Amino acid sequence: MSKEKIIIATIKEWNILNYFKLKERYSGRYDFHLINNKDELTVEYIQTIIPKYIFFPHWSWIIKENIYKNFNCVVFHMTDLPFGRGGSPFQNLIMNGVYDTKISALKVDVGVDTGDIYFKENVNIALGSAEENFIKISNIIFEKMIPKFLDEDIIPIPQAGDIVIFKRRNVEDSNLQMLESYIINNLYDFIRMLDADGYPKAYIKLREFKIEFSEVHLKNQKLVKRFEIIKNE
């Protein structure tokens, strides 16, 4: 008997490492295929595989209609949907003081994060850098959430509750001078929430220079962090 196929689409290193662990764990039951380049996500390629599911952990691009209408596409969003639809969920949660949140597994639909919900898992983001939290969330997705899909038949249900939309952040939003209150905990949250590969780090401008901050630690109401001084282009 031929094994059912699974596609996982992601570009993040921590997800790719977990992909290979999952592939080994279910090697006797499923054939896995990795897409780690957005240009490979085409209906023509997917039709050569015919997957049972396409999973999208930490995927930042629009999924085309001819894909999600023809295949079971599941995204994982770091909010308790419909609260927090939209971009930059981790940063927007931190800016709103929300540290206990959910990872929502949802069916891809025409709107942004509007699809029916399969289920949710709890996660706390009160401590650690963005990258440390992304790794923790990746572990939950690959060790608990995707296996649930592989072991059970799950029927999604429509989202319920008040809709709150998050706006995607840009580079200018990483300026520490955007903060309204310069208390220690706010500075800690602001720096750590931007500390991950591919994200614009927290910074301040000093004449012709920009100072970027990372690797922040909070201890005894003091911040210890790394900084880099870069000349503005």
Q: pLDDT for 15-72, tens place per residue?
A: 999 999 999 999 999 999 999 999 999 999 999 999 999 999 989 888 999 999 999 9
Q: 137 and 22 share a domain?
A: yes
Residues 6+ apart with CB under 8 A from 215: 129, 195, 225, 226
Q: 47 and 138 share a domain?
A: yes
Q: 61 and 124 share a domain?
A: yes
Structural domain span for residue 83 = 4-166
pLDDT, one tens digit per residue, over 130-178 is 999 999 999 999 999 999 999 999 999 999 999 999 999 999 999 998 8
Q: 185 and 88 share a domain?
A: no
Q: 23 and 116 share a domain?
A: yes
Domain end, chosen from 141, 166, 191, is at 166
Domain end, chosen from 140, 166, 192, is at 166
Q: 158 and 63 share a domain?
A: yes
DSSP 143: I
Q: 43 and 71 share a domain?
A: yes
Q: 157 and 218 share a domain?
A: no
pLDDT at 206 over 80: yes
Judging by beta carbons within 10 Å of its beta carbon (0-12, 13-18, 19+), is residue 92 exposed, middle or buried? buried
pTM of the model: 0.93
